[in-house]
Structure 1
Amino acid sequence: MGLARARLPLLAVLALALRAPDLGLIQALTPHRQVNGILGGSVVLSVDLSPEKELKEIEWSFSNGSGVMIQLAEFSGGKFERPDPSDRFKQRLEKYNKTSLRIKALELDDSGVYGARIKIQPAIVEDQAFLLAVYEPVPVPEIKSHSLSSTAAGCNVTLQCQVSGREKVNVSWSSGNPPRDLGDLERYQLTPDGRTLRLSLQPDLLNSTFTCTASNPVDQKNVSLYLQSICQSGGAAPSPCHWKAIIGALFLGLEISAMVPVTLLHRKML
């Protein structure tokens, strides 16, 4: 056996990992830095280089799990070179500084592994990797009230936070202004996905504001609901049965009113 053992280049190992459904496999194969970006935004990939090391050049590569690696750029002698300026990145790559690559106008397909092969004087090679995830902006959520029971003793209400879009987002609830954790409330229930909030509030809490926040690693949006706009302290909101009883009573009253003149006329004729 020789003193040196053959090993796969960094990007080859990462490409194998990317073929798996779970990108988390990469963590078991090579260290990397997680970088998150928003669709249409930009990110900067910066290699970690000690000040005492003299840099010769950096080669940047990319793999998105398709098994094909692209050589993106080279930093050499203070110059920025693109081996294939017509690749999918086109004019969206630039040299941010001597150790950093900037990617502009991010697209969802830019998600993947970026490798930096760093050549240091006199003959040292270091490999670093970045796992980029590009996310869509979070849509503005909407709060829907699904059921309501309001009495003098308090208000029972179910609120649902609805978020459109394809991506999975995290949903959380808060109360008050400024918003604070729901832990201050005594009686509430959250569904496992965090989107539906069931409340049972005393009259003194009916003027509370509840806020739903939808977020991903790069963006968040929220919407608030003033609870007193749907909970009326001191009286129950009429149910469908109540409305039927009220309407029935009105019709009965009209029928009685119509019958009185007819009865009087009949008596006069007699």
Structure 2
Amino acid sequence: MKVALFLLLSASLLDVVLATRHKERHAISQSTIHLTTSFDQTPTEVIWKHKTPENAMQIAKMQNGLMIDRLNSRYTLGPNGSDLCIHDVTERDNGFYIAEATLADNRIENEKFYLMVHEPVPPVQILSEVRRNGDQCHITLRSSVPSNASDLSYTWKYRHQDSEYQSIDTAGSTIHKILPLDHNYTEFVCKVHNPVDQKNVSVHIEQCSVKVKTRTRVPIVLFLIIIIITAAVCGVIYWTCSNRSKQGDPENQNLKTSVQDSESTFNNISHGKTNVKMKEEDVELECFEVKS
């Protein structure tokens, strides 16, 4: 029980020492980071360890200038092992790195580093809302990034036309600014950054009267009303033409009747001509018989 308690206190003490006596380093994801020691003598042996809250492991060892052990090819050591190079770092490489060196006079010294790996700052967009309130122009700007990164910081500044930039006392992603209605052309700049990367984006605000969003609603409503009325008129015309085509046109019926009567008269006349011709042939036959 006492041994377990002693080990627990030793581990806690080591964590406190590492947290208070270390060199802090930051790196961007997929980059290469160098951790360089500052021993006052050339070490004869250096052992590098990586410690996280979940695990601790030896990652490389060099003795008398020769690589004795290495966890994988992402870790390389400089001359005499005093420099550790980590390639293609990711957030899994976060944590403490400890160099345990045996110097030429057989003294053992340690140097500690704390590495934090950050993702690049994603593209930034400013969402703006400008509204008029009495004789004032209320401006709300919000910096939007497509990620939930917790290590991002925001710095805002603005200027009127070509004047000098003035900082805005806020550390958040949203700002509120009140300007007079006749304010000049104003530019707002937001810098989104972490310890290894940053992105800048700006937005230009003109006079408050220029950006009244409700003005665009009236033409849209009128346009919708015109479309509805046009569709209704077309529907009525189509319905009327359909009924007329089904019932038939009286003028067309009269014309059809006249054509039929004309055809009947023509047939009767033709039939009459045929009878007259037959009678004429009978008379000629009788005359021939008398003469004979």
Q: TM-score, normalised by structure 2?
A: 0.62
Give 1:27's aligned amino acid.
A
Q: Per the alignment, in what secondary structure is the counterpart of residue 140 of structure 1? A: coil
2:62 aligned residue = 75
CA separation of 1:13/1:45 partners in 2, compared to 1, >3 Å: closer, same or farther? farther
Q: Is 1:123 matched up with 2:113?
A: no
2:158 aligned residue = 175
Q: Is 1:197 matched up with 2:175?
A: yes
How much has 1:246 moved relative to structure 2?
Answer: 11
Deviations 1:188-220 (A, max 9, x none): x85xx6111111123564312111111111111
Give 2:198's aligned amino acid.
Q
Distance 1:75 1:179 in 2: 55
How much has 1:181 moved relative to structure 2?
Answer: 3.7
Query: Over aligned residue pairs, what C-alpha RMSD do you find?
Result: 3.5
CA separation of 1:226/1:55 partners in 2, compared to 1, >3 Å: closer, same or farther? same
Distance 2:158 2:172 in 1: 14
Distance 2:164 2:201 in 1: 11
CA separation of 1:247/1:105 partners in 2, compared to 1, >3 Å: closer, same or farther? closer
Q: Which of residues 32, 43, 60 is equivalent to 2:48? A: 60
Distance 1:62 1:246 in 2: 64
RCO greater where, 1 or 2, for CA within 8 Å and sep 6 or more? 1
Q: Per the alignment, in what secondary structure is the counterpart of residue 239 of structure 1? A: helix
Larger helix share, 1 or 2: 2
1:148 aligned residue = 130
Q: Is 1:43 matched up with 2:33?
A: yes
Distance 2:153 2:38 in 1: 32
Tell me the matched-pair count.
213
Distance 1:204 1:214 in 2: 30
1:107 aligned residue = 90
1:263 aligned residue = none
How much has 1:27 moved relative to structure 2?
Answer: 2.1
Distance 2:173 2:67 in 1: 48
Give 1:135's aligned amino acid.
H
1:237 aligned residue = 212
Residue pair 2:93, 2:117 contacting (<8 A) in 1 also: yes
Give 2:167's aligned amino acid.
L
Q: Per the alignment, in what secondary structure is the counterpart of residue 108 of structure 2? A: strand
CA separation of 1:142/1:246 partners in 2, compared to 1, >3 Å: closer, same or farther? closer
CA separation of 1:65/1:152 partners in 2, compared to 1, >3 Å: closer, same or farther? closer
Give 1:161's aligned amino acid.
S
1:262 aligned residue = none
Q: Per the alignment, in what secondary structure is the counterpart of residue 109 of structure 1? A: helix
Distance 2:113 2:12 in 1: 10
2:192 aligned residue = 214
Distance 1:166 1:234 in 2: 35
Distance 1:156 1:60 in 2: 57
1:260 aligned residue = none
Distance 1:213 1:80 in 2: 44
Deviations 1:118-143 (A, max 9, x none): 11122100011111111111112110
Deviations 1:120-171 (A, max 9, x none): 12210001111111111111211001x3224895532111111222321111
Q: TM-score, normalised by structure 1?
A: 0.67
Residue pair 1:150, 1:235 contacting (<8 A) in 2 also: no
Distance 1:77 1:178 in 2: 62
CA separation of 1:149/1:79 partners in 2, compared to 1, >3 Å: closer, same or farther? same
How much has 1:82 moved relative to structure 2?
Answer: 2.5
Q: Which of residues 127, 136, 140 is equivalent to 2:119? A: 136
Which 5+ residue runs of structure 1 have no aligned equivalent?
1-6, 18-23, 184-188, 252-270
Residue pair 1:42, 1:102 contacting (<8 A) in 2 also: yes
Q: Per the alignment, in what secondary structure is the counterpart of residue 138 of structure 1? A: coil
Distance 1:70 1:236 in 2: 60
